[in-house]
Chain A
Amino acid sequence: MLEASISAAERLFSPGPLLVMLIMLPISLISGMMPGGNLPIAVIVLGFAGYLDPWITVTAVVFFLAASDITEPVPSILMGIPGARSAQATILDGYPMAQKGLAGVALGASYMCTLVGGVIGAIALLLALPISRQLLKMFSSAEFFLLSLLGLLCVAIVSAGAFVKGVLTAAFGLAIAMIGFSPITGLVRADMGIEYLWDGVPLVPIVVGLFALPEAIDLVVADTPIAQQRLDTMLKEANRDVYRGMREALRHKWLLIRSSLIGTFVGMMPGVGSSAAHWIAYAQARHTEKGALETFGKGDVRGVIAADSANNSVDGGVLIPTVVFGIPGSGGMAILLAILVLSGVQPGPAMLTRHLDLTISLVYIVAFANIIVVPIMLFAAPMITRIAAVPPNVLAPVVIGIVTLAAYQATYSMEDLLLVLGFAVLGIFMKRYGWPRPPILIAVVLAEIVEKFLWISVNTYGFSMFARPQFLAIIAIMALVMIVSLRLQSGAQKALYEAASAKP
């Protein structure tokens, strides 16, 4: 473990990954503040996954996801517009503070929470690795098959908020993944007579069609213009009293630590992810902090502390099921998983043996992103906010152009673009009718691994695999995880409804 830690530091802090972090830094800072700006950038990195070293692509996407999370609360506080869904709870108290002329205090508290929460999340990830290593030693192919399949179903059920739609989309994703050569027999399956599909449905066009294009369309359809006058007033106040805000966060240290731990724990639950963590932390603070029921939602700095510390500690937590068990907790993590697969790194047990240094590097990246971005934000937040206030009708066509280029790189054929259009129509329908899209992507990424483990298990154990104690233990644990995840999700939704109904 120590050897891997040193090797990870040596490889990560070498010119290649450092240059990538330098390139991703401004992109992360700006896109974190843009509505819907996160996923398309991760898709672009995915487009390069087949060409570049996994150390480069993994560094790029993890650094990007961690750093962009840090800037997400800025538009929430300054303009009352969430940069992403994971900064929604920050608006409730951050924006009223800004309206009272306390934007700097809210931002300062947010930066401090970001720093502490991010580091706590990274430490949690580091501590989880040796425990996971011991756990995985007890598993065979039968347990890995079950873990992958149940993990996928768990993500689908929890993420959908609707049991039936979640499982249905996960099964549909598995069915799509069956197209092309069978990894067991080499037979071409369900190709519909189209030669292009012999190698299966390529990942990048799926991601572009299912996620990037519908999000770009949403950006234009929603078209949230930012009033220039209001922006100017808020930006003037953004750098005032920032250090007071940081001290405020430290003064409420127990709330900060408690919310960070909640964020880490929620992040570890498959399918719950960052969009729920901040609501759960906000709800617990609202019910446990003195006088919070009266002051939360009206500009209480403790609301900002609770939401933002959970929002950033979740990054470390969510990486644990993704890399160790191959069960991503969010759309961003599903893309990370896809990058690993396209780079030839199989998620799961190999991440704790052969690629342990790469796994440990994730800890460094998350911690490093938090440590370097916060000082930059202390000085440059107003300027970055101004850059990020790009009109949707300029941002969307740029995003569409870049992701189209990324999708075409899958096989260099026009069929890639037809596939993008097909999945875009599917994505629009799914988004419109509340069918969760991430389970399709996760199923396509995991299908080959699941199928290989299934076939090895059937050949090795036959039906006796169902009687293995480890097999039964995983069923019990996954059932428990699913119950906890569903409870956490309903808790987050309750907090969201409470906040919505309490709004003046």
Chain B
Amino acid sequence: MRRWLSLEIAGEFVLLALVGGFFVYLFIESLYWPLGSALMPWIALAIGAPFWLWRVAVLFFQWKQSSGQIMDIGFRIGDDPEGQRGRFIRICCYIAGLYFAIWLVGFHIALPAGLLLYVRFYGKISWVGSIVLALFFVALIVGVYDRLLNSSWHEPPLLQWIYSFLPESQ
């Protein structure tokens, strides 16, 4: 039982479940499509399905796997697994938190503020350096995306809520 719960096997089963689930969904959907729309998905499934089954069998029966990649290598594993795990969790939390903050308060506030706090506390650069970097992001968003590309931004719920209390909006 422990063997199946190991990160090596369980993790790849998650990947296979995702890919297999999408293959099944695509196949069921494609049964209702005209030939012109269904032909290419069927070719993709015909190529992928046998190899999916093969990979599941390799993992299930623990057959010897070929190894080695050139075009795409895995994570660089060093001699400090504890530290690496901590840094991994930290940066993932930062990304998730940053995206939540972007939704909540928008790009113009969340990106510079997130960057400022991260480089100050984890990048260990001075407050002045951190503020300069944050200002660079403000300049990038306003200068390139607002002025040059005329990007349209989503309306952050927190700012909308605050605006609702302002006299002009009532």
Q: Which residue of B lies closest to A214 (CB)?
A: B75
CB of B51, distance to nearest CB on chain A (Å): 4
Which of A168, A178, A275, A455 is in CB contact (< 8 Å) with B71?
Answer: A275
Mark interface residues in B46-72 (1 if CB within 8 Å of A CB, else 0): 011101101100100000011111111
Q: A233 on the interface (CB 8 Å rule)? A: no
B95 touches A400 (CB 8 A): yes
Q: Does A413 contact B (CB under 8 A)?
A: yes
Q: Does B18 contact A (CB under 8 A)?
A: yes
Q: When A and B form their complex, which 4 residue pairs have the shortest distance between CB atoms, in order from nearest?
A: A171-B48, A159-B71, A174-B44, A184-B36
On whether the beta carbons of A400 and B98 are closer than 8 Å, the reply is yes
| A175/B22 contact (C-beta < 8 A), A161-B67, A220-B91 known | yes
Residue contact B11 to A175, C-beta cutoff 8 Å: no
Q: Assess A222 versus B70: contact at CB under 8 Å? Given A413-B154, A429-B15.
A: no
Name the distance in Å between A465's Cβ and chain B's nearest Cβ. Answer: 13
Chain B contacts with A in 25-45, Cβ cutoff 8 A: 25-26, 29-30, 33-34, 36-37, 39-41, 43-45
Cβ-closest chain B residue relative to A220: B91
Q: What are 5 A-B pairs with beta-carbon distances under 8 A?
A: A168-B51, A168-B55, A185-B36, A401-B115, A429-B11
A437–B72 CB distance below 8 A:
yes
Cα of A285 to Cα of B154 in the assembled complex, Å: 57
Chain A residues touching B, majority SS:
helix
Does A421 sit at the interface, judged by CB under 8 A? yes
Candidates B44, B48, B72, B115; contact of A438 at CB < 8 Å: B72
Q: A217 and B37: CB pair below 8 A?
A: no
Question: Is A217 in contact with B91, judged by CB distance below 8 angstroms?
Answer: yes
Contact call B34/A178, Cβ cutoff below 8 A: no
Docked-complex contact B26 and A175, CB < 8 angstroms? yes
A404 an interface residue at 8 Å Cβ cutoff? yes
- Closest chain A residue, CB of each to CB of B71: A159
Contact assessment for B36 and A182 in the assembled complex, using a CB-CB cutoff below 8 Å = yes
Say whether B98 contacts A217, CB under 8 Å: no
**Residues 62-94 of chain B, each 1 if its beta carbon lies under 8 Å from chain A, else 0:** 000111111111111010000110011011101
- Contact status B47-A398, CB under 8 Å: no
Q: What's the Cα separation between A218 and B76 when bound, in Å?
A: 7
Measured CB to CB, the residues of A under 8 A from B are: 48, 51, 85, 149, 153, 158-165, 167-168, 170-172, 174-176, 178, 182, 184-185, 187, 189-190, 192, 213, 216-218, 220-223, 271-273, 275-276, 330-331, 391, 393-394, 396-398, 400-402, 404-405, 408-409, 412-414, 417, 420-421, 424, 426, 429-438, 447, 450-451, 454-455, 458, 489, 492-493
Verify A190–B26 contact, CB threshold 8 A.
Answer: yes
Contact B40 A451 (CB under 8 A): yes
Q: Which of B72, B91, B137, B140 contacts A331 (CB 8 A)?
A: B72
Interface size on B, residues (CB 8 A): 77
User: Given contacts A185-B36, A401-B114, A412-B151, is CB(A175)–CB(B45) below 8 Å?
Assistant: yes
* Closest chain B CB from A48 CB (angstroms): 8
Q: How far is the CA of A160 from the CA of B41 in the complex (A)?
A: 23
B5 within 8 A of A: no
Contact of B47 among A85, A170, A182, A436 (CB under 8 A): A170
Return B121 CB to nearest CB of chain A, in Å: 9
Residues of chain B contacted by A184 (CB below 8 angstroms): 36-37
Residues of A within 8 A of B152 (CB): 412
How far apart are A459's CB and chain B's nearest CB, in angstroms?
9
Chain A min CB distance to B75 (Å): 5
Q: A-facing mask of B111-140, CB < 8 A → 1, else 0?
A: 100110011001111000000010001001
> What is the chain B residue whose CB lies nearest that of A450?
B40
Q: Which of B45, B70, B153 has the most CB of A within 10 A?
A: B70
Distance A211 CA – B6 CA, assembled complex (angstroms) = 26
Contacts A412-B151, A451-B39 known; list 19 others, CB within 8 Å. Answer: A159-B70, A162-B67, A164-B55, A171-B47, A171-B52, A172-B19, A175-B41, A178-B44, A190-B25, A190-B29, A218-B75, A220-B90, A222-B75, A222-B84, A223-B83, A275-B70, A400-B98, A401-B98, A454-B40
Residues of A contacting B145 in the complex (Cβ-Cβ under 8 angstroms)? 405, 409
Asked if residues A421 and B96 are in contact (CB atoms below 8 Å), the reply is: yes
Query: Is A424 a contact partner of B95 (Cβ separation < 8 A)?
Result: yes
* Interchain CB contact under 8 A, B36 and A221: no
CA distance A172 to B44 in the complex (A): 8
Q: Which of A153, A216, A405, A447 has most chain B Cβ within 10 Å?
A: A405
Q: Given A182-B37, A187-B37, A421-B99, A167–B74 Cβ distance below 8 Å? A: no
Contact present for B154 and A189 (CB under 8 Å) = no
Residues of B within 8 A of A190 (CB): 25-26, 29-30, 41
B16's nearest neighbour on chain A, judged by CB, is A168
Kindly provide the distance from the CB of A354 to the nearest chain B CB, expressed in whole angstroms.
25
Pair A397/B70 contact, Cβ less than 8 Å:
no
Contact B115 A397 (CB under 8 A): yes
| Interchain CB contact under 8 A, A185 and B91 | no
Contact of A404 among B71, B87, B102 (CB under 8 A): B102
Q: Taking the nearest CB of chain A, how far is it from the CB of B104, in angstroms?
A: 11
A405 contacts B52, CB within 8 Å? no
CB-based nearest B residue for A162:
B66
Complex formed: what's the CA distance from A144 to B48 in Å? 21
